[in-house]
Structures are given as structure tokens and as C-alpha cells.
Amino acid sequence: MSTNPTTYDRIYDVVRQIPLGRVATYGQIAELSNLAGKARLVGYALYRVDMQNLDIPWQRVVNAKGEISLSPLRFGTDYLQRDLLENEGISFNDAGKINLRKYLWQPHKSQPVD
């Protein structure tokens, strides 16, 4: 017997589709998971992901401002996420923000690097 996918499983499936070198916002993942307007759920779901498990590229999900959303309870996570993204070729400005116009994942469209 197989268990039906949970809501979080669906969220993880979408996150897995984010291409290398691109990022998506929590709200965007919510919409693609048929959870429009429920961005927080995506955050809740990603909070559960084991940071060492890169099978789910959790590091590619950032907030709508292009910043890494931090969890006070995960000291050091900010550094880890930024490090992983920079290794994928994503750059941060002086304010610690990502240029979404350049790096935001655009499903259905081609993915021009610039």
C-alpha cells in the first residue's frame, strides 16, 4: 500500500524543480503547489527539511524581497544558505539581497542567464 502525498510532499516536489543557479520565492512555490496565498505554509514545510539533505534544494527558496529568510532557532543557517547559493553562481549585493530580476526562476519560459 502506498501513502498519498501530503501537502508538504507536494511543496517539496515543486522545490525540487527549481533549476540550478535560480531561486524562487515562498509565494511562488505556494502558487505552483496550488496553495496560492499560503506562502507561510511553504516556509513551515521547508523548516522541516534537513539542511544536509540537498535532494530538496531548499537553499533556492528566498523571500519576496530577495533575501534569505532566517530562523532564529537555526543559528548559522543564513551563512550556509548563502554559501550554497553563491556556489551555484548566485550573487548578493551589499545589502545581502539577490537580484530577483536576474535569478528568479521562471517556469514555462526559457531560462536566459542574463
Angle, nearest 10°, between helix axes 7-15 and 39-47? Answer: 90
Which C-beta is closer to DNA: that of 65 or that of 91? 65
Site string for DNA, 51-80 (x = CB under 7 A): x------x--x-xxx---xxxxxx--x---
Least gap, CB of 70 to DNA (angstroms): 6
Phi, psi of 15, deg, nearest 5: -60, -35
- In whole angstroms, what is the distance from residue 84 CA to residue 57 CA? 10
Least gap, CB of 10 to DNA (angstroms): 9
Total residues contacting DNA by CB under 7 A comes to: 33
| Residue 8 falls in which region: left (phi positive, over 0), alpha (psi -120 to 50) or beta | alpha
Which C-beta is closer to DNA: that of 52 or that of 110? 52
Least Cα distance to 26 among 64, 55, 80 occurs for 64
Contacts with DNA, residue ranges (CB under 7 A): 6-9, 25-28, 37-44, 46-49, 51, 58, 61, 63-65, 69-74, 77
